[in-house]
């Protein structure tokens, strides 16, 4: 109930509206965090806006969890959901409470949750903030003179235009920011006041002398300079557990057990492959994979991940199909292989590229899978498939599954083709000169999952697009044409997660590999395997995560306008 009282107080100060906001979106919080608590149903009177920051996260899949992660990522205290799932964030709730029954619309992403009403917000509160009432302007500490107004935007997003610039003092600005619940406050050019939840990352401290303008309302005080902020921060208004916060480890973490020599399970020998030899024909009318294969269930193996077998080929066209099938699986390898074997996924990606090169090379004796297998066998999996029949028809399949020695061919009445989409991403890899990433050279070499045409015939009319992040295409997320932007946002996010899990993790372990106990191989083998991939990775864990984040934010920005227009126009024309 304290939260409710807090908000009633907030509503009372609603007359101070921020006239101008130039928010630079931050990524959602992907780390675990203490859940927001439901705080009631509030009305948006429009002026001022009930919560000033509108998240760009797609509303058609919105849930309470997603919205609170957005707000947590931006350092906000409140999250609000309106009209089936539009997500807003803010430091204060500027509107009156109404009966809970007014919040009655289901959330698009989870219909058991409530996403406000029409101009009515379901409001959730981050419980890791202290009440604003306890904070006064005395709690703001001066932290110096800082740059502002970079080409990218403002250092603090919320300009307080309701204050009269001609009479501005430091106290007036601090009071406005305090009332708005903002931990950061800054004065500039004698008469401007800005508040912020966070300080933009391209802001830097400069010599105090560069803040050289007296405050218009009190010449004895300094109010910034030209594109220079006199900056203050009230730690009391920041979350006690911001995104990424890790609870202090309990005192029982004294020393690692000195004799950790009992390496018990030899990981290799335990599960010898006693897979029942039932030929798993991957036929389903929807899957449109009417190939009958005597299957190696696991063709290429990286740790906990196994590739799905590539179709047979005997000419350039079918060879390219195999390459596509291969390349579309790379993202799932990064997602599932597990450390440290995930480093082998780079080899898998190269192996796929080798297939493409092989297709183009006009090999002497014909372009055949068997030939390529002889030269570059897939790693880790069992023997190559012995009998393969590929058919290029799909739909109503009538295949029976038999022993491995019988190959059954599909008969089909349908004439529709079974395209394997080319692995050309409709989403764009962003570039940054500063961090050195760009197309073909993502951070850590980890590409984003491919979003391209849906390969499943019966899905295609409604969902022409698909994000390929699973070896089983049916488990991949599919998208309507209007959702391409969201599809790319999902791909950006997944790239970010892989970037942190693989690249940043690799950077971290590089320095600590001697202590690694999760490695299955011996120390030296492990060190070698890691070293082979990571010796060029010279970031620290922190700077690696920072790069991953920078790439993620750019990725979201870069892909906002992706529409998929002209892409995947017909199912068999992908
Ligand atoms: C939907 O929301 C309910 C209530 O918050 C939760 O218990 C459930 O797990 C959610 N379902 C999904 C699929 O997230
Ligand atoms: C071939 O398949 C049949 C039926 O599944 C089985 O009875 C027979 O033993 C198999 N032959 C070989 C050589 O595997
Ligand atoms: C990593 O190494 C590259 C060249 O090998 C260098 O350009 C870059 O500055 C280094 N980065 C760090 C963080 O040391
Ligand atoms: C930091 O600033 C750079 C340049 O303005 C921007 O590209 C990047 O996305 C920002 N990263 C974070 C984590 O805010």
Bond into 542 cis (ω within 30)? no
Residue found by looking up tokens 């390529």 in the block? 372
How much is the average pLDDT of 168-193?
A: 96
Of residues 20 and 369, more confidently modeled? 369
> 455: closest CA among 283, 284, 287, 281?
287
Does ligand 1 come within 6 angstroms of the Cβ of 259? no
- pTM value surpassing 0.75: no
Of residues 276 and 36, more confidently modeled? 36
How much is the average pLDDT of 429-438?
A: 92
How much is the average pLDDT of 178-201?
A: 95
Does ligand 1 come within 6 angstroms of the Cβ of 112? yes
How much is the average pLDDT of 196-200?
A: 92
pLDDT bin (cut points 50, 70, 90) of residue 277 is very low
Most confident of 304-313, 419-428, 443-452, 467-476: 443-452
Cα–ligand 4 centroid distance for 24 (angstroms): 9
Smallest CA separation from ligand 2 atom 14, residue: 405
How much is the average pLDDT of 525-546?
A: 74
75-91 b/e with 16+ CB inside 10 Å = b?
bbbbbbbbbbbbbbbbb
pLDDT at 457: 79
pLDDT above 60: residue 261:
no
Ligand number, closest to the Cα atom of 106? 1
Q: Which atom of ligand 3 is nearest to the CA of 539?
A: 13
Does ligand 2 come within 6 angstroms of the Cβ of 201? no
Whole-number Å distance between alpha carbons of 450 and 199: 34
CB 530 within 8 Å of CB 463: no
pLDDT bin (cut points 50, 70, 90) of residue 311 is confident
Smallest CA separation from ligand 4 atom 6, residue: 550
Weakest mean pLDDT among 255-259, 438-442, 554-558 = 255-259
pLDDT above 50: residue 10:
no
pLDDT at 296: 53
pLDDT above 90: residue 236:
no
Q: Is the dihedral of CA 208, 209, 212, 217 positive or negative?
A: positive
Mutate to test the pocket of ligand 1, among 113, 114, 124 (most ligand atoms within 8 A of CB): 113
**What percent of the chain has a predicted confidence (pLDDT) above 70?**
76
For 69-223, list the strands marked E by DSSP: 78-82, 86-90, 97-98, 106-107, 110-114, 120-125, 141-147, 158-159, 184-188, 192-196, 205-206, 214-215, 218-222
CB 87 within 8 Å of CB 69: no
Torsion region of 46: left, alpha or beta (phi above 0 gives left; psi -120 to 50 gives alpha): left
CB 568 within 8 Å of CB 465: yes
pLDDT at 96: 93
Hey, how many other C-beta atoms are within 10 angstroms of the C-beta on 529? 16
How much is the average pLDDT of 92-111?
A: 95
pLDDT at 21: 63
pLDDT in tens, 467-488: 999 988 888 998 988 888 889 9
pLDDT above 60: residue 333:
yes
How much is the average pLDDT of 182-190?
A: 96
Domain locations in the chain? 2-125, 137-237, 281-391, 443-573
Weakest mean pLDDT among 4-8, 101-105, 193-197, 244-248 = 4-8
Smallest CA separation from ligand 2 atom 13, residue: 405
Ligand number, closest to the Cα atom of 153? 4
């Amino acid at each position: 109930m304290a939260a409710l009282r807090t908000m009633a107080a907030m509503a009372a100060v609603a007359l101070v509206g921020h006239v101008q906001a130039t928010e630079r979106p931050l990524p959602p919080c992907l780390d675990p965090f203490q859940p927001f608590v439901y705080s009631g149903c509030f009305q948006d009177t429009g002026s001022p806006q009930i919560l000033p920051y509108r998240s760009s996260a797609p509303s058609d899949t919105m849930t309470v969890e997603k919205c609170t992660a957005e707000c947590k990522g931006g350092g906000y205290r409140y999250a609000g959901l309106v009209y089936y799932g539009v997500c807003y964030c803010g430091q204060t709730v500027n509107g009156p409470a109404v009966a809970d029954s007014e919040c009655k619309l289901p959330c698009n992403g989870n219909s058991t949750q409530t996403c406000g009403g029409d101009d009515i917000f379901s409001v959730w509160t981050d419980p890791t903030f202290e009440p604003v009432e306890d904070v006064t302007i005395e709690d703001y500490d001066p932290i110096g003179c800082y740059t502002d107004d970079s080409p990218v935007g403002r250092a603090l997003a919320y300009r307080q235009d309701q204050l009269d610039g001609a009479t501005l003092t430091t106290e007036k600005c601090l009071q406005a920011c305090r009332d708005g619940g903002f931990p950061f406050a800054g004065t500039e050019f004698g008469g401007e006041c800005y508040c912020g939840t966070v300080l933009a990352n391209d802001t830097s401290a400069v010599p105090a002398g560069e803040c050289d303008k007296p405050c218009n309302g009190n010449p004895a005080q300094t109010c910034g300079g030209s594109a220079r902020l006199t900056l203050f921060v009230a730690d009391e208004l920041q979350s006690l557990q911001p995104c990424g916060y890790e609870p202090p480890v309990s005192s029982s973490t004294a020393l690692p057990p000195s004799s950790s020599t009992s390496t018990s399970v030899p990981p290799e020998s335990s599960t010898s492959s006693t897979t029942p030899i039932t030929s798993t024909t991957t036929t389903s009318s929807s899957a449109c994979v009417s190939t009958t294969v005597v299957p190696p269930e696991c063709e290429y193996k990286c740790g906990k991940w196994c590739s799905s077998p590539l179709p047979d080929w005997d000419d350039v066209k079918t060879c390219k199909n195999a390459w596509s099938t291969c390349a579309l699986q790379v993202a799932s390898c990064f997602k599932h292989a597990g450390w440290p074997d995930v480093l082998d996924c780079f080899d898998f990606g190269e192996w796929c590229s080798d297939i493409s090169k092989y297709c183009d090379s006009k090999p002497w004796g014909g372009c055949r899978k068997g030939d390529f297998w002889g030269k570059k066998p897939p790693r880790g999996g069992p023997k190559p498939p012995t009998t393969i029949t590929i058919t290029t028809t799909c739909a109503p399949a009538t295949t029976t599954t038999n022993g491995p020695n019988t190959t059954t061919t599909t008969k089909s009445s349908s004439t529709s083709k079974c395209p394997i989409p080319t692995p050309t991403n409709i989403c764009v890899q962003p570039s940054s000169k500063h961090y050195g990433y760009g197309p073909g050279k993502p951070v850590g070499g980890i590409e984003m999952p491919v979003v391209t045409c849906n390969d499943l015939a019966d899905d295609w009319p409604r969902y022409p697009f698909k994000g390929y992040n699973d070896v089983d295409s049916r488990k991949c997320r599919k998208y309507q044409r209007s959702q391409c932007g969201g599809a790319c946002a999902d791909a950006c996010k997944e790239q970010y997660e892989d970037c942190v899990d693989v690249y940043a993790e690799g950077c971290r372990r590089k320095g600590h590999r001697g202590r690694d106990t999760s490695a299955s191989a011996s120390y030296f083998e492990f060190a070698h395997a890691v070293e082979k991939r990571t010796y060029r990775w010279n970031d620290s864990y922190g700077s690696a995560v920072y790069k991953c984040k920078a790439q993620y934010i750019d990725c979201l920005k870069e892909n906002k306008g992706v529409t998929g227009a002209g892409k995947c126009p017909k199912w068999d024309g992908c």
